[in-house]
Structure 1
Amino acid sequence: MTKRQHALHELLVSERAYASDLARIREVHIPLALAELAVFSDGFCDQLEFALGSLVDGGVGQDCVGELFLRIIPDLEKPYQLYITKHSGALQHLHNLTQTSSLQAYLSHTQSVASSMSHAWDLASLLIKPVQRLLKYPLLLHAIIDETPDSHPDKGNLRQARTMMEEVVRKVNEVRRRAEIIKDVLKSKKKPGAVALSVNLGKLKDKIPPVNEDSEAGQVERMSRELKRIELFAQLFTKNIVDWARSMNKFIGALRTWSIGFGKVIGLSPEQGSKAFEAFLEVVERELMPLCVDLEAIIHERVLREIVYLLKTMNQPYKLLEPMTEQEPLYYHLLSLNVSAKSRPPQALLAASTTYLALRAQLAAELPTYLALLHQGLSISIKRLAYIQTLFWKDVKDKWGELWEMLRVDGELNAGHEETVIVWRSRWMDVNEVFASLNINQSRKIYQEPGPTGSSGTSVHPNLAKMEYPLPQVGRKQSSNMVMERPTHGRNKSGSITSFFKGDKNRGDRVQGSSPVPNLPEPDSRYMSHSNRDQWVTKPAKYSMATCTRFYRKRVIRAFIPSYRSMSMMEKTVCFSVEM
C-alpha cells in the first residue's frame, strides 16, 4: 500500500471511528444529543467509501475525495459551528450538576459501558470528539495532497478543499472565541475592556470617522436605533392599554353615578320606583361593571405579560451595545496608530479592540433575527388586543340590546343610536318644554333700560304693568287708585337731571328753569322722612344715569306701595329688577 493509499484509508477509518463515537454518545449517555452531527457523519462515511473508488473492496474508478469535500463543506460548517460554540457551556453545566447518589451511579454505569466499547474514559472525553474532528480534516487533506501526484485529476479539488476547510476552521474558532467574549460580557458586572490610557476618550470619540451605512458598523448602528424605537413603542403601547382598560372601568362607574342621580332628579324612591330604571341600573351594576373588571384581568394576563417579557429580552442586546459603544473609540484609535516592530500598541488596547470587533460581529449576526422576532411578537400582541376589544364591545352591545328589547314598545326598531336618540327625545318632550319655559333658561332681557331721549314707546315689564296699589288719602283729593307708570328723564339747561310723573296737573312746584315737578301724592306716614321728595327729585345729578335711575326707582316704589314690607321676595325682585 502506497503512502497515498494509506492517507486515504486513514481518512475513511478515522471517519468510521468518529461516527461510532457519536452513536455511542446517543445510545449510552445522552439519547437526544448530537443528532445532526451523527446523521451527517454516517452519510459522509457512505459517500467517502464511494469516492475512494477502486481503493476499497468493491469500488471502481479513480478516487475523487477532493470533489466530495467541495460538495459537503457548505453543509458541514453550520452543525459544527453550533456544536463547538456550545461545547464549553455544556461541559460547565455537566461539572456544575449536583453530585447526588443517583447521578454518580448513572455516570459510573455509563463510563464502564463506554470504556468497554472505546478508548474514551468518560462523557467529557466523548463530547470533545467533534471539536477534534473538525480540526483534523485540514491535516488529513494536507497529508493526501502531499502524496498525490500533480497529474492526478483530483489534486486541484484537494487543494481547494483544504483551503475551504481551513477557512471553516477559522470561522468556527472565531465564532467560539466571540461566544466566550459575549458570555464574559453578559456575566460580568463590570464594564469590559477597561483600558488605562493617557488618551482622552472624549477626544477619541470626536475623531471617529463617519460610518458607512452598508458596512457592518453601519448596520449595527441602524439596528440599535431600531431596537430603541421598538422599546419606546412597546412602553407607550403598554401605557395606552392600561389607560384604556382603566378608562372603561371609570366610565361605567361614572354611568352608575349618573344613573343614581338621574333617578333622584325624576323623583324615584324605594316607595315609588320604576321597573325600567331598575333594569337600566341592573345592567350597569351587574353586567357592565363586572365586564370591565374582567377586561382588565384579561388584558393583564394575555397582553401585558407578553409585552413585559419582550421588553425583558432587550436587556442582553443592550448589555452588548453599551460596551461596544465604549470600546469603539479605542478601536479607531488603534487603527490610527503608527505600529512598527519597535513601537507596538499596548496589550490592553489590543484587547479592547478585539472585544469591540467580537461584540460588533455578534450583534450584526444576531440582531436581524432578534428584531424580526420582536416585530412578530408585538404584532401578535396588537392582534390579540384587537380581538379582546372586539369581544368586549360585542358583550357591551349584547347587554344594551337585551335591555332595549325589554323596554321596547310597539313601533320601535333597534336601528342604532340615531333611533335611540329620537325615541328618548320624544319620550321627554314634555319635560323639555317645562324646562324651556322657566325664566332661568330664557336668554331674552326681562327689563329694558330707558333711553336718554325719554321716549314714551319703551315697554314696561308685564309684572309691573299689571300691579295696582291703593294710595293713601292724605290732605288733597286724590284718585283712589293710581297706575304706576314708567318715569321719563330729561336734562335742563344747567345739566341737571329732571324727573317727573304723569300725575295731577294741579301740582305746580317748579325749580330753576326745569320742567314742572309732578304733583306727587303724600307718602305714607311710614315714609314721612321723605317729605323733601321735591328737592330729591329735582336736585342736580351727582351720579351716572344708571345709578340715579336705580336710586329713584327704589324711592318711588317705596313711596307708592304701602304694602312693600309685606311683599314677597319675588315681588320685590320684580319691582327692583333693572336690566343694565
Structure 2
Amino acid sequence: QKCKEDMQGRTTSWDLGSLLIKPVQRVLKYPLLLREISLLTPAEHPDAENLAIAVKEIQEVADHINEIKRRKDIVEKIVGDKKRTEINLTRRAQRFRQVTGFASGATQDALFDALNLRFEEQQEIARQLARDLQNWVRHVKEQLDNLQLFACSLETLYSSYGGVRVRSMNNIRAFNQAASVLANALLRELDNTVKSYTLVRIEGFLRVFENPTQVISKRAKKLLDYDRVRDLKSKGDVPDKALQESADAYLSINAQLIDELPKFFGLTTTYFDILIGDLSILQANFYAQLTAEWKKLAILLYDGQEDVDETLEQIVQQYETDMVPVEEMIQEITPLNKTQWNALTTQLLSPSRPPSSEKMHDRSPMEVGNRSVGQLVDLSTSPDINSFLTATPSDEPVFQCVVLYDYEADEPDALSIREGDQLLIWESTEHEEWWYGHLGKQSGWIPACYCKKL
C-alpha cells in the first residue's frame, strides 16, 4: 500500500504488479542488456571487469533456462504422443542386432541405472507393504475367529455339564460375549479402516509412479534409436531426420530423468514415511482397543476391580502353568505328534503287514486319527510314506497357476513359494481364500491372492 501511494502521479504506464513481474518476464533479455552496457563501458572503467563476469554468468543462466524448457517440451510431447511411427519397426531389429553381437552394445548410463533400480525398489516396497498389511489383517481375523470358536465350544461344553456353578457359567458366557465383540465389531472396524483408508493411500502412493514410468519406458525406446544413430555414424552413414530427432530426444529425456528422479525420491520417501506413521497409529489403536476389551472382561470377572493389570499377569502365569500337563497329553495323541506318527506309519507300511482292501483318498494325517491307518492306506499301491502324508482336500482334476509374489510358509501345512513358480491346484479349493497346491514333491496351502490361474 505504501508503494502504491508513493507511485501516485509518478507514472500512468504501469501498476505495481506489472512492475514486479518484469524481472521474471525479462530474465532472458538481461544478457542483451548487460552485453550492451559492457560494450559501451571503457576498459579502464572500474566496473568493466565485473560487467564482463556478469555477462558470462547471466548468459549461463539464460542457457540453463532454455535447456530446461526444451527438455520439458520434448518430454511432454513424447509422453503425450500415442501414435506409432515407422521408427518403432526398426527397434526390434536393433535390439536383435545388439543381442546377437552384430551391433555394438547398448549405451550404459550407470547413474540412470542406479536411479531406475531405486525407482523399482520403492514401488516393490509399497506393494509388499500392502501384501504384508493384508496378511496381518488375515492373521488377526484367524486368531479372533479361533478365539470365538473356542469360546462357543467352551460354553457348549460347560452348559451340557450339570456340575458347573451358576457364577462359573456366567463367567463363561461373559468370555463368549467378549470373544464375539472382538471377532465381529472390532475386526469389522479394523478391516474397514484398512480397506477404506490405509490400502487406498498405498494405491495413491503407487499412482504417483505412473507418469515417471511412462517417461522411463519412452527413454528405453529412444535409447535404441540413439544406439542405431551411433552405429550408422560409425559406418559413415547419415541417419534420416526422424531417427536423428528421436536419438536427440533420448539425450533430453535421460538428462531430465537424472535431474528429476532424485527430487522425486525425496518426495516419495516423505510420502512413504507418512504411510508407515499412519499404519503404526492404526495398529496401536487396534491393540489399545483389544486391551481395553480384555480389561472389561477382567473387571467383570474379578468383582469390578479397576486395576486389573496385575491380575491379568497372574492369569497368564497361571494359564501357562496349567497348560504344561495339557501339552503333555496332546503330545500323546499320535496324529498330532510328528515323531510318533512317522514311527507308526513306517511300522504299518512294512512288508510284513498284509495290504488293506480300502485305498486312501485325500485324507490328512489329522483325519486318520479317527480310523486306523490300515483301513485308510492301500499298502499294495503306496511305495512310501510321502504319498500318504501329502494327501489333498479332494481327488478332483487340478488346474495350474503361476506365483506372482514370494510367500514364506509360517504354518506346518503351508507351502513356501517363489515368484514365477508354477503349481498344480486342486479345483475344490478354487473359490477359497487359500488354495491347496503341489510344487514338485512338496504340497501345502498357499494364499490364493499370491497366484494367478493359467
TM-score of the pair, normalised by structure 1 = 0.47
Cα distance, 1:195–1:351 mapped onto 2, change above 3 Å: farther
Per-residue displacement from partner, 1:460-481 (whole Å, max 9, x unpaired)?
xxxxxxxxxxxxxxxxxxxxxx
Instruction: Kindly indicate whether residue 49 of structure 2 is the aligned counterpart of residue 156 of structure 1.
Output: yes
Instruction: Kindly indicate whether residue 142 of structure 2 is the aligned counterpart of residue 245 of structure 1.
Output: no
| TM-superposed deviation, 1:171 | 1.6
Structure 2 residue aligned with 1:232: 124
Per-residue displacement from partner, 1:407-462 (whole Å, max 9, x unpaired)?
23899933256324058669xx9xx8xx99x999xxxxxxxxxxxxxxxxxxxxxx
Unpaired stretches in structure 1, ≥5 consecutive residues: 1-15, 26-36, 42-79, 81-129, 212-216, 441-545, 548-580
Cα distance, 1:381–1:195 mapped onto 2, change above 3 Å: closer
| TM-superposed deviation, 1:347 | 0.9
| TM-superposed deviation, 1:405 | 2.8
Residue identity opposite 2:188 in structure 1 = V
Select 2:317's aligned residue among 402, 416, 419.
419
Residue identity opposite 1:208 in structure 2 = G
Structure 1 residue aligned with 2:301: 407
How far apart are the structure 2 equivalents of 1:401 and 1:309?
38
**SS in structure 2 of the partner of residue 283 of structure 1:** helix
Map residues 68-217 of structure 1 onto 2, 5 A cutoff.
Answer: 130=25, 133-190=26-83, 194=87, 200-203=93-96, 205-206=98-99, 207-208=104-105, 211=108, 217=109
Instruction: Kindly indicate whether residue 206 of structure 2 is the aligned counterpart of residue 326 of structure 1.
Output: no
Residue identity opposite 1:415 in structure 2 = E
How far apart are the structure 2 equivalents of 1:145 and 1:337?
45
Structure 2 residue aligned with 1:345: 239
Structure 1 residue aligned with 2:17: 23
**SS in structure 2 of the partner of residue 301 of structure 1:** helix
Select 2:291's aligned residue among 397, 400, 417.
397
Select 1:363's aligned residue among 257, 262, 266.
257
Cα distance, 1:324–1:204 mapped onto 2, change above 3 Å: farther
Per-residue displacement from partner, 1:2-47 (whole Å, max 9, x unpaired)?
xxxxxxxxxxxxxx99x9477149xxxxxxxxxxx63x84xxxxxx
Residue identity opposite 2:70 in structure 1 = R
Cα distance, 1:286–1:316 mapped onto 2, change above 3 Å: same
| TM-superposed deviation, 1:299 | 2.0
**SS in structure 1 of the partner of residue 286 of structure 2:** helix
| TM-superposed deviation, 1:269 | 8.6
**SS in structure 2 of the partner of residue 189 of structure 1:** coil
Q: Identity over the aligned pairs, expressed in percent?
A: 21
8 Å contact from structure 1 (residues 178, 359) kept in 2: yes
| Superposed CA RMSD | 4.1
Per-residue displacement from partner, 1:208-242 (whole Å, max 9, x unpaired)?
3663xxxxx32222111111111111111101212
Residue identity opposite 1:325 in structure 2 = A
TM-score of the pair, normalised by structure 2 = 0.59
How far apart are the structure 1 equivalents of 2:320 and 2:225?
75
| TM-superposed deviation, 1:397 | 1.7
Per-residue displacement from partner, 1:136-190 (whole Å, max 9, x unpaired)?
2222223223322222232232223222222222221111121111212232224
How far apart are the structure 2 equivalents of 1:187 and 1:279?
64
Give the aligned length: 315
Cα distance, 1:362–1:383 mapped onto 2, change above 3 Å: same
8 Å contact from structure 1 (residues 249, 293) kept in 2: no
How far apart are the structure 1 equivalents of 2:92 and 2:153?
74
**SS in structure 2 of the partner of residue 151 of structure 1:** coil
**SS in structure 2 of the partner of residue 172 of structure 1:** helix
How far apart are the structure 2 equivalents of 1:372 and 1:241?
24
Residue identity opposite 1:402 in structure 2 = K
Residue identity opposite 1:259 in structure 2 = A
Cα distance, 1:366–1:169 mapped onto 2, change above 3 Å: same
Name the stretch that deviates more: 403-412 or 363-372: 403-412
8 Å contact from structure 1 (residues 142, 162) kept in 2: yes
**SS in structure 2 of the partner of residue 266 of structure 1:** helix
Residue identity opposite 1:241 in structure 2 = L
8 Å contact from structure 2 (residues 111, 258) kept in 1: yes
How far apart are the structure 2 equivalents of 1:190 and 1:281?
65
Residue identity opposite 2:39 in structure 1 = D
Instruction: Kindly indicate whether residue 310 of structure 2 is the aligned counterpart of residue 316 of structure 1.
Output: no
Q: Which structure has the larger Rg?
A: 1
Cα distance, 1:417–1:187 mapped onto 2, change above 3 Å: farther
Cα distance, 1:264–1:333 mapped onto 2, change above 3 Å: same
8 Å contact from structure 1 (residues 339, 345) kept in 2: no
How far apart are the structure 1 equivalents of 2:199 and 2:131?
10
Residue identity opposite 2:17 in structure 1 = A
| TM-superposed deviation, 1:319 | 0.4
8 Å contact from structure 1 (residues 195, 352) kept in 2: no
How far apart are the structure 2 equivalents of 1:298 and 1:420?
36
| TM-superposed deviation, 1:332 | 3.2
How far apart are the structure 1 equivalents of 2:150 and 2:280?
29
8 Å contact from structure 1 (residues 204, 333) kept in 2: no
Per-residue displacement from partner, 1:333-392 (whole Å, max 9, x unpaired)?
33444489x964321122112211111111111110111222222222122212211221
Structure 2 residue aligned with 1:256: 148
How far apart are the structure 2 equivalents of 1:149 and 1:186?
51
8 Å contact from structure 2 (residues 107, 227) kept in 1: no
How far apart are the structure 1 equivalents of 2:92 and 2:146?
65
Residue identity opposite 1:253 in structure 2 = D
Residue identity opposite 1:151 in structure 2 = E
Cα distance, 1:243–1:196 mapped onto 2, change above 3 Å: closer
**SS in structure 2 of the partner of residue 200 of structure 1:** helix
Structure 2 residue aligned with 1:223: 115
8 Å contact from structure 1 (residues 193, 351) kept in 2: no
Residue identity opposite 1:419 in structure 2 = Q
